[in-house]
Structure 1
Amino acid sequence: MIDRGPGRYVAVGDSFTEGVGDGSKRRPNGVRGWADRLAEALASDSPGWEYANLAIRSKRLRHIIAEQLEPAIAMEPTLITLYAGGNDVMDLGTKIVDILAEYEFLVSQLAQTGATLVLFTGYDVEVSPILGPLRRKNHAYNDGVRLIAAKYGAVLVDYASFNAYANSRMWGPDRLHMSKAGHKYMAARVLDVLGVPHGITHRDKRKAPRGVRQRAREHRTWVTEWVLPMFGRKLRGTTLGDSLSPRWPQPVRVPPKKGLKKLIR
């Protein structure tokens, strides 16, 4: 699907691409994520790949257009991944027609680089009836992403159809971001779609069944520690990404052995 020779990979987007949920204390912003793993696999297969990751958690489409689009194009990438719009879908009062218009503008600009462009649908996370009304918006968003990917000749990773994510082990404590296992699986699926060989494996382990009381306690904890703070931030107009910078703001040569951790001091 892509030229196996070394190139330059630029990752654009929000928390999904930043790597939230895949904790790594020594890496920038304290996370690793599927995009780092993808870059490392590319370099392992074909030494010489460069990698930049501009994604920051909580960013909306308007932020990505204003803050990441121009730098990404200026890097002259040969491979771009873009996941964006999920936060806009979750915002109250937003309209799908407006979200998809911004999304298509972003895709159209990135497509003009001539790079291989990889887009993603959004997974339909079933976390609670509290967030149920957002599912219809997410379905409409995914339909739009599929049409836009076809229109601009982008590679589509249909995340929404990946049955492996029905396993709770693939999700972090907030139930909205992938766990380490989820990020590893995503990296493998993107590599598969691109036709790049890799050694990333996935074991479909299941968590032990939980009793009714344990599930109730976990649900109360989730609402208290994740849902209420999220809505509080929305009311205050703040986000978790306000004080963060891109993890890899400039292209770095990825060592084919030991990967990006070799660059971390």
Structure 2
Amino acid sequence: MSTAPGPAARWERYVALGDSMTEGLWDVDPAAPETLRGWADLLASRLAERRDGPLEYANLAVRGRLLGEIVTEQLPAALALRPDLVSLVGGGNDLLRPGSDPDALAALMESAVEKVRATGADVLLATGMDAHDSPVIRATRPRVAVFNAHLWTIARRHGAHVLDVWGMRSLRDWRMWAEDRIHLSTEGHERVTQGALVALGLGAETPDWDDPLEPLPPAARAERLREDLTWLRTYAGPWVGRRLRRRSSGDARAPKRPRPQVVEIPGR
């Protein structure tokens, strides 16, 4: 997706907080195949391109983190870095759990937003994805919808920006998702980056950034069944097993970019 002229970015230090989505699963960095990139890294690059001076960027997100862990572990570390832009995206892992309380999660999120805004920094939130088309995760849809409604209210109260993932038409296509059907593909992360630019008032780089893909021919029922069985065996089963053992894929993992570093722009 080519870069188009747009408004200048005013922020000098951006810190990203969150879980696997912000860590960047499963967008592999083509310049460093052993590392993950993701929408927040891409956003940092786009913001840097729209600045005359340097942009510093840190990413404290770790896969599997619950919102309480993000607020208690990542938020204090982020505030110590004195950012002027913070993306705070979490709650998805909580809402996947039966019995989770979106009202309580929203109260926790609002407290975190208040702390960031008290420093003068801007905040970028993100709604949860609409799981209408997922036969497994669809059961979480009512909880996610309530949490999303709270996020819009929190943003209004405290002057935050909202990345409207729920409303993105392009993400209703499974080609925007990785094989595990929970995390974004490389193209999905790119689309979310464009949505983040829109949320920040900078405008997307192309007018068709959220257009749906051309539909594929319908797959045969037997093929869909094979794919579903492979998914259950490869991804769903291990995920359920970790939950039963109260383990997380992010246990013992550290943030990939814990200290602010200047974002390098090719050609500058």
Per the TM superposition, whether the score is higher than 0.5 is: yes
**Separation in 1, partners of 2:33, 2:67:** 23
Match of 2:163 among 150, 157, 165: 157
After TM superposition, list the pairs within 5 Å mapping 1:73-112 onto structure 2: 73-112=79-118
Give the aligned residue type for 1:69.
L
**Separation in 2, partners of 1:143, 1:192:** 19
Structure 1 residues 174-183 or 187-196, which shifts more?
187-196
1:241 matched residue in structure 2: 250
**Compared CA separation, residues 4 and 95, structure 1 to 2 (3 A):** closer
**Compared CA separation, residues 114 and 98, structure 1 to 2 (3 A):** same
**Compared CA separation, residues 211 and 198, structure 1 to 2 (3 A):** same
- Give the alignment's TM-score, normalised by structure 1: 0.89
1:24 CA drift (Å): 3.0
Gaps of 5+ in 2: 1-5
**Compared CA separation, residues 233 and 205, structure 1 to 2 (3 A):** same
Give the aligned residue type for 2:168.
F
Match of 1:224 among 233, 238, 250: 233
Match of 1:68, SS? Answer: helix
Deviation sequence 1:92-124 (CA, Å, 0-9, x none): 222222222222222221221211111111011
**Matching of residue 120 in structure 1 with residue 129 in structure 2:** no
Give the aligned residue type for 1:186.
V
2:197 matched residue in structure 1: 191
Gaps of 5+ in 1: 260-265
1:192 CA drift (Å): 2.5
1:30 CA drift (Å): 2.7
**Separation in 1, partners of 2:199, 2:156:** 15
1:48 CA drift (Å): 0.3
**Separation in 2, partners of 1:212, 1:258:** 49
Sequence identity percentage: 35
Structure 1 residues 164-173 or 208-217, which shifts more?
208-217
1:262 matched residue in structure 2: none
Match of 2:22 among 17, 21, 25: 17
**Separation in 2, partners of 1:35, 1:45:** 15
Match of 1:195, SS? Answer: coil
Match of 2:82, SS? Answer: coil
RMSD: 2.4
**Compared CA separation, residues 117 and 184, structure 1 to 2 (3 A):** same
Structure 1 residues 59-68 or 197-206, which shifts more?
197-206
**Compared CA separation, residues 87 and 145, structure 1 to 2 (3 A):** same
1:7 matched residue in structure 2: 12
**Matching of residue 210 in structure 1 with residue 231 in structure 2:** no
- Give the alignment's TM-score, normalised by structure 2: 0.88
1:253 matched residue in structure 2: 262
**Compared CA separation, residues 169 and 129, structure 1 to 2 (3 A):** closer
